[in-house]
Amino acid sequence: MKRRDFLKASVGGTVVALSGGSAIARPNLEPAPEAIGMLYDSTLCVGCKACVSKCKEVNGMPPTIRGEDVQYDSALDLSPQTLNVIKVYRDGKAEVKDSETNGFAFEKRSCMHCVDPGCVSACPVTALIRHEQTGIVTYDADACIGCRTCMTGCPYNVPQFDYNNPFGEIHKCQMCNQAGVERIDNGMITGCAEVCPTGATLFGSREALLEEARRRMALKPGESYMYPRGDVRDPISSHERAVPSYLQHIWGEKEAGGTNVLHISSIPFDKLGMPPLPDRSYASISETMQHSLYQYLALPALALGGLTYVIKRNVDDDEGGEK
């Protein structure tokens, strides 16, 4: 091959490869076979924050106290000391619960345990791991280098780095199953679901929770329904309540490949602070690019071969020629 042809071919190849021309598309990941999750029903939440308090107890984190008069945990948002927080949506006079106008609504922020997690995909050292069976996303501080790429890759801004500690680490909800806690492995349920008085946070398999969410969507507003507390399959107790008018949208069924923690509510999710997400996960697009360019290191090896050949020739030419 002539040098000029080689250059043309290699430039062309690079352009095709860089624009994702190679067909090694990586689709969204599928839910783990025994995916564990939670269902948060915003209409059931009364904003008591028992879940926030229990979460801190389980994870050994101090309550966030604002001002001397406030004697309860009043964390405003996720932080290295707050892995789960209840936030409030307010509009106008904020008089009616679960009303978009002149109303208010609660929303839970915690790790959504994505089916196709951006943090896991972006972490260079495998410090974030999606469990093969349960789909729970856990963190390994011994592997972590603190580059915080997981934070950039999380659509929900969940992983939190402790900047104020010179030996800080990432903190995130690990569904009460991290080493040393292992509530799920021991047959228990998550702390937040255990203490929730209304069943707004419900524990269970992703499948069972999706089923429960769909059942609620199908109910007529005003109808009476027995809401379970604790574990969806094995409730701690149940309570009867009139069905609110649900928004026909289960957050986490499809968003960016879906999540194991599902949310339902009666007001639109963007009002509750959920991000604008397409169905295809960003992780799958990013990995498609990485795999197209670096599968078996074939392209780099080919490029290196070509470059070595051309450069050797050019360097030899110079030595034999003018000098």
Q: List binders of another protein among 248-267 (CB under 8 A).
A: 256
Phi, psi angle pair for 307, to nearest 5°: -65, -45
Q: Does residue 15 belong to the site contacting another protein (CB under 8 A)?
A: yes
Q: Whole-number minimum distance, CB 193 to another protein, in Å?
A: 24
| Binder among 5, 132, 223, 322 for another protein (CB under 8 A) | 322
The residue (of 123 and 175) whose beta carbon lies closer to another protein is 123
- Find tokens 């492995």 and name the residue: 185
The residue (of 162 and 253) whose beta carbon lies closer to another protein is 162
Q: Both ends of the chain: CA-CA distance in Å? A: 27
Q: What pairing do the DSSP bridges indicate for beta strands 237-242 and 261-264?
A: unpaired
In contact, 172 and 159? CB cutoff 8 Å: yes
Q: Whole-number minimum distance, CB 299 to another protein, in Å?
A: 9
Q: Does residue 19 belong to the site contacting another protein (CB under 8 A)?
A: yes
Binders of another protein among residues 76 to 115 (CB under 8 A) are 77-79
Task: Report the C-alpha gap between 319 and 323 in whole angstroms.
Answer: 6
Q: Whole-number minimum distance, CB 70 to another protein, in Å?
A: 21
Q: Whole-number minimum distance, CB 113 to another protein, in Å?
A: 17
Q: Whole-number minimum distance, CB 20 to another protein, in Å?
A: 4
Contacts with 273 (C-beta within 8 Å, 6 or more apart), sequence order: 87, 89, 107, 109
Binding-site string for another protein from residue 110 to residue 129, where x marks contact by CB under 8 A and - marks none: --------x--xxxxxxx--
Contacts 24+ apart (CB under 8 A), 305-314: 306/6, 306/10, 309/6, 310/3, 310/6, 310/7, 313/3
In contact, 173 and 2? CB cutoff 8 Å: no
Q: Whole-number minimum distance, CB 216 to another protein, in Å?
A: 27
Binders of another protein among residues 152 to 211 (CB under 8 A) are 152-153, 155, 157, 160-170
Task: Report the C-alpha gap between 71 and 67 in whole angstroms.
Answer: 9
Secondary structure (DSSP) of 154-180? -TT---EE-TTSTT--EE---TT-STT
Q: Does residue 151 belong to the site contacting another protein (CB under 8 A)?
A: yes
Task: Report the C-alpha gap between 274 and 276 in whole angstroms.
Answer: 7
The residue (of 80 and 244) whose beta carbon lies closer to another protein is 80
Q: Whole-number minimum distance, CB 129 to another protein, in Å?
A: 10
The β-bridge partners of 190 are none
Q: Does residue 318 belong to the site contacting another protein (CB under 8 A)?
A: yes
Tokens of 303: 């490029």
Binders of another protein among residues 36 to 55 (CB under 8 A) are none
| Binder among 1, 7, 70, 217 for another protein (CB under 8 A) | 7
Binders of another protein among residues 269 to 308 (CB under 8 A) are 273, 275-277, 282-283, 285-291, 293-294, 300, 303-304, 307-308
Q: Whole-number minimum distance, CB 93 to another protein, in Å?
A: 22
The residue (of 148 and 241) whose beta carbon lies closer to another protein is 148
Burial 125-140 (b: 16+ CB within 10 A, else e): eebbbbbeebbbbbbb
Q: Whole-number minimum distance, CB 29 to another protein, in Å?
A: 11
What size, in residues, is the chain?
A: 323
Q: Does residue 9 belong to the site contacting another protein (CB under 8 A)?
A: no
Task: Report the C-alpha gap between 280 and 273 in whole angstroms.
Answer: 20
| Binder among 69, 142, 223, 240 for another protein (CB under 8 A) | 142
Angle, helix 282-294 to helix 298-320, in steps of 10 degrees: 40
Q: Does residue 18 belong to the site contacting another protein (CB under 8 A)?
A: yes
